Amino acid sequence: MRAYVIGNAAIDENFRVERLPGEGESILAGKGSVELGGKGANQAVVLARAGLPTTLIAGIGSDTRAERVRGWLAAEPLEARLLPIAGASTDLSIILADGEGANVIVTTVDCARALTADAVLPDLAAAAPGDLMVLQGNLGLSTTRALIAEARARAMRVVFNPSPVRDAFADLLPQVDTLFLNQHEAGVLSGREGAEAVRALLRAGPSTVVLTLGREGALLGTAGGVRPVPAVAVAATDSTGAGDTFQSVALVSAARRGTGIDAAALRDAARAAAITVTRRGTLSAFPTQAELEALLA
User: Which residues are annotated as part of the binding site for K(+)?
Assistant: 238, 240, 276, 279, 281
The amino acid sitting at 37 is: G
> From the annotation, which residues make up the binding site for substrate?
10-12, 38-42, 244
CA distance 28 to 42: 27
Q: Which amino acid is at 171?
A: D
Annotated binding site: 10-12, 38-42, 182, 212-217, 238, 240, 243-244, 276, 279, 281
Catalytic residue among 91, 131, 244, 268: 244
Residue 67: partners with Cβ closer than 8 Å, 6 or more residues away: none
Q: Catalytic site residue 244?
A: yes
The catalytic residue positions are 244
